Every structure is written in C-alpha cells, then in structure tokens.
Amino acid sequence: MADFVEAARLDEVPPGKSISITVADKPVGLFNVDGQIYAIDDICPHAGASLGLGKLNGRIVTCAHHGMKIDVATGCFPASEGFAVASYPVMVLAGKILVAFDSN
C-alpha cells in the first residue's frame, strides 16, 4: 500500500522545470513535462549528483556532473532499460504535488 505525502506546490515546478527536495526523509527530484509531474530518486547512481538540478529536455534529465541521462517518467536510463533509479507515483490535488511511497 502506498502513502501519498505532500511534496511541493504545483507552482514551484513550472512546465519544463524541475526541483530537488526531501520528502519523507528521501531525496526526490520533481519534474514537470508539459504539465505532467514525475518523481524519481534525486541521487544520480553514477556520481551522487542531484537529478532534480539537472537539465530537463522533454522526459530526459541530464545529470549536471557527468551527463548521465535518465527518463523521468520511468526512472530508466534510455540506453539500458535494466538500469534505473526509483520512480514514484504522483498525484496533483488542489495545487499540491503529492508523492507516494511504499509503506512496507
């Protein structure tokens, strides 16, 4: 069962932008791709840099430190679908972005 937790206000993540935040003690990157909000682990597995502070181009975020590319909708690396960061369900309600984490 997933628990939704308030992460940010929708106006904090305008279309084409992203932010790096901590939600429920987890570093999370929030991304707005044409009005659709996505949430993934914020830590790049290659060098530990913030993905939320990377450059967003469509659904692909590029890590600012070493250029690793990640699909924010799936958490997968486009070049290797078997290698990914965690992605989280998102719901927008009354102008607030809610992110779900597994309660187990």
What is the rounded CA–CA span in Å between residue 4 and residue 15? 22
* CA count, 13 A, side-chain hemisphere, 72: 30
The average confidence (pLDDT) of the chain is 91
CATH topology of domain 2-102: Rieske Iron-sulfur Protein (2.102.10)
Once rounded to an integer, what is the mean pLDDT over residues 36-62? 93
Domain boundaries, the chain: 2-102
Instruction: Answer for the pair 63, 49: CB distance below 8 angstroms, yes or no.
Output: yes
What is the rounded CA–CA span in Å between residue 66 and residue 62? 8
| 77-90 tens-digit pLDDT | 887 767 889 999 99
What is the rounded CA–CA span in Å between residue 95 and residue 104? 28
Could you say which DSSP state residue 54 is in? Answer: S
Model pTM score: 0.92
